[in-house]
Each structure stands twice: as C-alpha cells, then as structure tokens.
Amino acid sequence: DVKVTQSSRYLVKRTGEKVFLECVQDMDHENMFWYRQDPGLGLRLIYFSYDVKMKEKGDIPEGYSVSREKKERFSLILESASTNQTSMYLCASSLSYSGTGSNSNQPQHFGDGTRLSIL
Amino acid sequence: GEDVEQSLFLSVREGDSSVINCTYTDSSSTYLYWYKQEPGAGLQLLTYIFSNMDMKQDQRLTVLLNKKDKHLSLRIADTQTGDSAIYFCAGASDSNYQLIWGAGTKLIIKP
C-alpha cells in the first residue's frame, strides 16, 4: 500500500511565523501535490511537483512556496503566516504514467492531513 | 475551463441505497475517481472507472458513467453508519498531471 505521511496532524502557529509542513511518500512517485481544504470550497491546489527540484503553481499559490530536494519529500512553506491560512492541508502523490488511454490511470494517494491554525 | 460539480449534501436512511451524482465538463477525461473522506482524515481512494466503461461494481459500490451526458454516479447499497463521510469525484485527462475535483458531497445517514 502507498503510504503518504504528513509530519503533523495538528499545528498552531502565530501570525508572521515561517511555517513548514512536511510530506513524505514511500512509493517512489514522481508527482506530489499540496492542497488546502476549506468548508464549502472543496480541494484547492496550491503547488505540485512532477520531479525533484521541479515545481508548478496550482490555483492558489500566493503566500506559499514549496521545496522538493528529494523525490520522496515535498515541503510546503508559509513564508509569513496569516490568519487566512488557517485551514486543513492535504498532501498527495501519484505515479507519472508513460502511456495514454488505459495506461493513464493516475490516482492520487493522500496523507491524513494537517490542521493548521494561525493565531 | 474544466469543471466537476456535485451537490453538497445527501441524506439517506440506514439500510437504503445512496446515490451520489457528479457532472463534469472535460470530455477528454480518461479516468474518473471516487474518494471518501471521513471526519478529520485525508482522502481515501474508493474506486475508479475508465472512460470506455459504463459500469463498474465492487461489492456494495456501483459506479455508472454516462459519457454522452458527462454524468458519473456512485451507488452505495445497504448504506451503513460507517459510510457517513464526504465523497469527492475527480477527473483526470491524458494531458496533465492534475485531477479536477468536485466540491464533495456530505453523506448523512439517518437512523
């Protein structure tokens, strides 16, 4: 089974702090993703990475950065935390597919989430 | 752009069937997924269907796909209290790494 581990289930930080959320996967997946989840808004993609040292902005990258120094680890960084970044943060990983059609199955596998509160 | 829509809530009686619906706009979607999220947890992959299929059954779960209407549904037979969760549908395409997510349907079980 794929295992995606997020370093903290719950985290409380103060406004202006630099916050690191860590995510590790054990299945040699190329792709890794950071989402935030807010009530009524579903999942919103912050950043994703398709290879080591590669990153792409998602739908809501403002106020966040990411780091992918090793294939198994993808870190989300809040440079200067603000109260509107209080949310549930979810990390996911997936394989890159090499074909098309029926070879393109690429489900994402999720960690348990980090509930981050910024005071 | 691509969009996936779901109703936000569904309420059913314990023992009845639940049908959770999803519509999508991206006609190039190859795989469509159903995920389950229990309270305070991450998302768990429940099942998926490839776009050349119109039905897939897995124990109490039945997925129906109507490509013409771009409509996907998840039927849960004999709904139990443990099925209480938020259910997300998501679509993938050949063209990129991302999944397009619905907002999630909260399934509420009445005794």
Contacts of B86 in chain A (CB under 8 A): none
Does the beta-carbon distance from B97 to A48 stay under 8 Å? Answer: yes
Higher pLDDT, B27 or A115: A115
User: B14 pLDDT band (50/70/90 cuts)?
Assistant: very high
Q: Is-contact B33 B24, C-beta < 8 A?
A: no
Does the beta-carbon distance from A115 to B40 stay under 8 Å? Answer: yes
Tokens of B81: 């209290």
Share of chain B above pLDDT 90, in %: 68
Among A10, A105, A108, the residue to mutate for chain B (most B Cβ within 10 A): A108
Contacts of A115 in chain B (CB under 8 A): 40
b/e B92-108 (16+ beta carbons within 10 angstroms → b): bbeeebbbbbbbbbbbe
Shortest distance, CA B100 to any CA of chain A (angstroms): 9
CA A119 – CA A99 distance, rounded (Å): 47
pLDDT at residue A41, as a whole number: 83
Does the beta-carbon distance from A42 to B104 stay under 8 Å? Answer: yes
pLDDT at residue A101, as a whole number: 61
Cα dihedral B69, B72, B76, B81, rounded to 10, equals -120
pLDDT at residue A42, as a whole number: 85
Among B24, B98, B100, B105, the residue to mutate for chain A (most A Cβ within 10 A): B98
**Average model confidence (pLDDT) for chain A?**
91
Does the beta-carbon distance from A110 to B42 stay under 8 Å? Answer: yes
Least-confidence region, from B1-5, B12-16, B73-77, B94-98 = B94-98
For residue B10, is pLDDT > 90?
yes
Task: Residue count of chain A, please give it.
Answer: 119
Tokens of B49: 């269907």
Q: What is the DSSP letter of B10?
A: E
Does the beta-carbon distance from B103 to A101 stay under 8 Å? Answer: no
User: A104 pLDDT band (50/70/90 cuts)?
Assistant: low
Among A residues 59-98, those touching chain B with beta carbons less than 8 Å apart: 90, 92, 94, 96
Shortest distance, CA A47 to any CA of chain B (angstroms): 11
User: A66 pLDDT band (50/70/90 cuts)?
Assistant: very high
Model pLDDT for residues B85-109, shown as the tens digit of each residue:
999 999 886 666 778 899 999 999 9
For residue A1, is pLDDT > 90?
no
Count of alpha carbons within 13 angstroms of residue B102, beta-carbon side = 30
For residue A9, is pLDDT > 80?
yes
Higher pLDDT, B15 or B51: B15
Highest mean pLDDT among A70-74, A96-100, A106-110: A70-74
Task: Say yes or no: A50 contacts chain B, CB-CB below 8 A.
Answer: yes
